C-alpha cells in the first residue's frame, strides 16, 4: 500500500531531504521545503528586513549556562509557556548512544532546558506536529532552522493557522555519520558531548575537556545537497530570527520580523527575562554579507536540482 511518502525516498536518494519532519506529520509532499522553494528567495534581498534588532541574553543564570550562546531562545520559549501564549514548544534534544539528536515537545516551562544547545545535524522537529490536535495548532511555538520555518509557512497558509516561529540562523548542517565518526574516533557516546559549535572550525567539546576540531571546508563535505540549494541563512517567514555570529561570547542577536515577534521580545525584556546589550554598528552588514554568499552559492545548485526534480515529476 502507498504511504504517500515515496517522494521522500526520492529526495533522500538525491541528498535533498533535510529531514525537516513535515512529511512525517502530514503524509504529503505539499509542505516539503526542498521541492517548492519559492523562486523569489533566490532573487530578493537575502536578509529579510528586520523591524528591529536586539542584542540579548537570558537573565537566568541556569539558562545561560545550559544554552548554546546567550540562551535567548530557551528563555523566550520558557516565557511563552509560562505566560500561556503557547501550550507546546517544539524543538530537539541530544539523544543517547549513537542517536545524535531527537525531536522533543515541551509543555512544562520547567523542562524547557532540555531543548537547549545547538545540534549540528538534521532533526525532524516538525514530525512532532502529528502529536498536537488540529484545534491546538495555534498554540504551538516551533524553534527550527530556515528550511523548517519555510515548511511551517506553507502549512500555515494551507490550514489557515498561525504558529509562533523562532528561527535559529543556519549556514549549513551536517549528516549524522559525520558526528558519529568523530565520536567513534574518540571512543565516545552522544552523552559524552558537552557542546558542538562553529568557531572558525567545527568543534565538538566533550565532558572530559577534550575537543575535536574539523576545518569547515572538511566538515562541509558532510552537508547534504539540500543545504547547498538552500537560499536562506535567516528565514523570511519567521517571527524572530536568533543567532550569535559576530558577537562576543554568550550573547545573541534577535532580528524581529513580525509584530508578533516584536510583542514577544518587548514583553520578555520588560518582564526581565532578557537582558539587552549594545548592537554593534556593522552587525547587520556582516550578517547580510554571509546571507548573500549563501544565496549566490545556492542559486547555482538550485538550477541543477530543479532539472532532477522535474525529471522525477516532483516539480512543474
Ligand X SMILES: Cc1cc2nc3c(=O)[nH]c(=O)nc-3n(C[C@H](O)[C@H](O)[C@H](O)COP(=O)(O)OP(=O)(O)OC[C@H]3O[C@@H](n4cnc5c(N)ncnc54)[C@H](O)[C@@H]3O)c2cc1C
Binding residues among 88-147 for ligand X as defined by CB under 6 A: 91-92, 115-121, 123, 125, 143-145
Q: What is the binding site for ligand SF4 (CB under 6 A)?
A: 8, 11, 17-23, 32-34, 124, 145-147, 170, 172-173, 226-227, 230
Q: Which does 231 bind (CB under 5 to 8 A by kind): ligand SF4, ligand X, none?
A: none
**69 counts as binding ligand X under rule CB under 6 A:** yes
Q: Which residues contact residue 313 at a Cβ distance below 8 angstroms, ignoring those fewer than 6 apart?
A: none
Q: Helix 259-270 and helix 72-82: axis angle, to 10°?
A: 90
- Measured CA distances, 122 to 101, 102, 119, 126 (Å): 8, 9, 8, 11
Closest CA to 265 of 115, 46, 57: 57
Q: Which does 167 bind (CB under 5 to 8 A by kind): ligand X, ligand SF4, none?
A: none
DSSP letters spanning 58-81: ES-HHHHHHSSSS-HHHHHHHHHH
Shortest distance (Å) from residue 172 CB to ligand X: 7
**295 counts as binding ligand X under rule CB under 6 A:** no
Shortest distance (Å) from residue 83 CB to ligand X: 17
Pick from 41, 67, 86, 155 the residue near ligand X by CB under 6 A. 67
**Could you give the residue ranges of the DSSP H alpha helices within 119-214?**
146-159, 176-186
Shortest distance (Å) from residue 49 CB to ligand SF4: 20
Closest CA to 250 of 52, 60, 67, 62: 67
Shortest distance (Å) from residue 316 CB to ligand X: 30
The conformation of residue 33, written as its DSSP 8-state character, comes to T
The nearer residue to ligand X, 70 or 314, going by C-beta atoms, is 70
Q: How far apart are CA 120 and CA 100, in angstroms?
A: 9
Residues that bind ligand X (CB under 6 A): 67-74, 91-92, 115-121, 123, 125, 143-145, 168-171, 173, 242-245, 252
Amino acid at each position: 500500500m502507498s504511504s504517500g511518502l515515496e517522494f521522500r525516498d526520492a529526495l533522500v536518494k538525491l541528498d535533498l531531504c533535510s529531514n525537516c519532519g513535515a512529511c512525517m506529520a502530514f503524509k504529503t509532499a505539499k509542505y516539503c521545503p526542498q521541492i517548492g522553494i519559492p523562486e523569489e528567495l533566490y532573487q530578493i534581498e537575502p536578509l529579510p528586513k528586520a523591524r528591529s534588532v536586539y542584542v540579548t541574553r537570558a537573565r537566568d543564570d541556569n539558562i545561560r549556562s545550559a544554552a548554546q550562546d546567550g540562551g535567548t531562545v530557551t528563555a523566550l520559549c520558557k516565557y511563552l509557556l509560562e505566560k500561556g501564549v503557547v501550550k507546546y514548544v517544539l524543538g530537539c534534544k541530544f539523544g543517547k548512544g549513537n542517536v545524535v539528536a531527537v525531536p522533543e515537545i515541551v509543555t512544562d516551562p520547567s523542562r524547557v532546558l532540555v531543548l537547549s544547545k545547538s545540534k549540528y545535524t538534521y532533526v525532524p522537529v516538525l514530525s512532532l506536529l502529528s502529536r498536537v490536535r488540529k484545534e491546538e495548532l495555534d498554540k504551538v511555538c516551533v524553534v527550527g532552522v530556515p528550511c523548517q520555518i519555510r515548511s511551517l509557512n506553507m502549512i500555515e497558509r494551507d490550514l489557515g493557522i498561525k504558529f509562533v516561529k523562532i528561527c535559529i540562523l543556519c549556514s549549513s548542517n551536517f549528516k549524522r555519520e559525520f558526528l558519529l565518526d568523530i565520536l567513534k574516533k574518540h571512543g565516545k557516546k552522544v552523552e559524552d558531548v558537552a557542546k558542538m559549535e562553529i568557531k572558525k572550525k567545527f568543534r565538538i567539546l566533550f565532558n572530559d575537556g577534550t575537543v575535536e576540531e574539523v576545518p569547515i571546508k572538511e566538515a562541509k563535505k558532510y552537508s547534504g545537497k539540500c543545504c547547498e540549494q538552500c537560499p536562506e541563512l535567516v528565514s523570511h517567514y519567521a517571527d524572530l530570527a536568533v543567532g550569535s555570529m559576530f558577537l562576543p561570547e554568550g550573547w545573541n542577536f534577535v532580528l524581529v520580523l513580525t509584530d508578533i515577534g516584536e510583542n514577544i521580545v518587548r514583553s520578555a525584556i520588560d518582564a526581565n527575562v532578557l537582558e539587552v546589550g549594545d548592537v554593534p554598528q556593522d552587525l547587520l552588514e556582516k550578517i547580510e554579507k554571509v546571507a548573500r554568499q549563501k544565496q549566490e552559492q545556492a542559486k547555482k545548485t538550485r538550477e541543477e536540482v530543479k532539472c532532477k526534480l522535474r525529471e522525477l515529476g516532483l516539480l512543474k
